[in-house]
Amino acid sequence: MTSSGLLLDIPAPTALAGPSDIFTRRESNVRSYCRSFPAVFATSRGATMWDEDGRAYIDFFAGAGTVNYGHNEPRMVQAVVEYLTGGGIVHSLDMHTVAKRAFLEEFERTVLEPRGMAHRVQCPGPTGTNAVEAALKLARKVTGRRTVIAFSNGYHGMTLGALAVTANPQARAGAGVPLPHVRVAPYEGNHGMATDEALEALSQQLRLAEQEDGGAAAIILECIQGEGGVNAASPVWLRGVAERARAHGALLIVDDIQAGCGRSGTFFSFEPAGIEPDIILLSKAIGGVGMPMALVLHRPEHDCWQPGEHNGTFRGFNLAFVAATAALRHFWRDDTLARSVATNGAIVREALLDMVQAHPGCALSVRGRGLMQGLRCEDPALAARIGRAAWDRGLVIERSGREDEVVKLMPPLVISDDELRRGLAILAEAVHAAIH
Ligand SMILES: Cc1ncc(COP(=O)(O)O)c(C=O)c1O
């Protein structure tokens, strides 16, 4: 497999065949990303995916922040293959396994201890939304309170508890039942809200929760809102949120499911703000090569779970532990990856600012940090055209925001300089084509 010969010489994408193909004929209407990226993918390596006809695509989506270490990272693949061929146990509920022990030891050594974190590690079901459910249950159990404060534009998943703290009206409507015991505060910058104003509005919601429902159990927060439009909160606002959580006896939950595992430039997205969340949620990239996995990290003094109180069949998928251990070992024992995210983040920033400058009057702006950045278009229709034009040119890129008005750049963190620059060149070309 090679990533050479990409782009420019690639044939036009082949749309799926229509009603006769198995996906259209049999797969539920609920399918979504395949509508934006109508190809049948077959193989992948690093930051490149190939469809079944051999057409190459540069991936600026990375499974919404799942393949941070690149597709099929060879050392992780090798570790998984060796584990399987060696007869390693794949499924074990939450029984002890050598794979889980190796992961916990590596996570403690590489992530928790260097940051002075005493947090316990809970393995919920392997999706992000399951980690959110567990966190909400735990915060309510610890505090004996019901109300949770969530933020405008926040996204936390699709199961009912997670949906209750998710802002998207269309997603919420899918619940079909009320989604109670949640108060929404404005995220910094939403509707032009300044840092102080947004903090005052949060204080007000916390006071209302006290008056009406005995106080808030938790505040749930993304330090960079992914689905909400790549809104990166300032350290000042994040510290203000943490202070208010403490002052009101609410646990602070940081949902790092999309922004974590190095995406923002540090392992956890909250590190530059210097805050110490009570509960931290990881999923997506923690599983290394895209293996389903989720973690809830919580303070030992909050570990009041009864055994099996948040149970589930797939809590601890050993192949994910193997890949995750390899990822931590190869990418987080030193700061090489973090430094390369900073360098590549600056390249992305510069390229996006160039696009803004090249099209004055189009109301484009840049947002985000690390390798989680976005090009916001005042006109959502323009963002849609850019996404399509990029796809036509062999770039997989997604949109987010309330009206999908932000073109979101999330390449694998290990993307090569060549792929990054070619991806950015395609995007610049797509912006130009979409405008003219
Ligand atoms: C911040 C955040 N939290 C939770 C979730 C839900 O994760 P999952 O789709 O694995 O349930 C997502 C998914 O995009 C997310 O971005």
- Alpha-carbon gap, residue 247 to 104, rounded angstroms: 33
Cut 0.75: pTM above it? yes
Sheet of strand 147-151, all strands in order from the earlier edge strand to the far edge: 120-122, 295-298, 279-282, 251-255, 216-221, 147-151, 182-185
Between helices 318-331 and 98-107, what is the axis angle to 10°? 30
Fold exhibited by the domain 22-65+338-435: Aspartate Aminotransferase, domain 1 (3.90.1150)
- Alpha-carbon gap, residue 5 to 158, rounded angstroms: 39
Strands 56-59 and 395-396 turn out to be: parallel
Residue of 257, 317, 372 best suited for mutating to test ligand 1, as the one with most atoms within 8 Å of CB: 257
pLDDT tens profile 357-407: 999 999 999 999 999 999 999 999 999 999 999 999 999 999 999 999 999
Q: Quick one: pLDDT at residue 16?
A: 59
Cα(296) to ligand 1 centroid in Å equals 13
Distance of CA 99 to the CA centre of its chain: 25
> Residue 150: helix, strand or coil by DSSP?
strand
Cα(405) to ligand 1 centroid in Å equals 19
The answer to whether 128 touches 63, Cβ cutoff 8 Å, is no
Closest to 221 in 3D by CA, of 231, 212, 213: 231
Ligand 1 pocket, residue 314 CB under 6 Å: no
Ligand 1 pocket, residue 127 CB under 6 Å: yes
Residue of 156, 163, 221, 372 best suited for mutating to test ligand 1, as the one with most atoms within 8 Å of CB: 156
- Alpha-carbon gap, residue 5 to 8, rounded angstroms: 9
Distance of CA 54 to the CA centre of its chain: 28
CATH code that applies to domain 76-331? 3.40.640.10
Residue of 258, 372, 398 best suited for mutating to test ligand 1, as the one with most atoms within 8 Å of CB: 258
Ligand 1 pocket, residue 292 CB under 6 Å: no
Cα(78) to ligand 1 centroid in Å equals 28
pLDDT tens profile 230-285: 999 999 999 999 999 999 999 999 999 999 999 999 999 999 999 999 999 999 99
Per-domain boundaries in the chain:
22-65+338-435, 76-331
Give the model's confidence band at 11: pLDDT under 50 very low, under 70 low, under 90 confident, else very high: very low
Atom of ligand 1 nearest to the CA of 127: 10
> Residue 256: helix, strand or coil by DSSP?
coil
Cα(162) to ligand 1 centroid in Å equals 9
The answer to whether 79 touches 321, Cβ cutoff 8 Å, is no
Between helices 336-358 and 417-435, what is the axis angle to 10°? 20
Q: Quick one: pLDDT at residue 7?
A: 39
Between helices 380-392 and 417-435, what is the axis angle to 10°? 130
Q: Quick one: pLDDT at residue 284?
A: 98
Q: How many CB atoms lie within 10 A of CB 417?
A: 11
Give the model's confidence band at 192: pLDDT under 50 very low, under 70 low, under 90 confident, else very high: confident
Strand partners, 139: none
- Alpha-carbon gap, residue 202 to 199, rounded angstroms: 5
Atom of ligand 1 nearest to the CA of 159: 11
Ligand 1 pocket, residue 63 CB under 6 Å: no
- Alpha-carbon gap, residue 106 to 333, rounded angstroms: 9
Question: Tokens standing for 62?
Answer: 């990375």
Ligand 1 pocket, residue 255 CB under 6 Å: yes
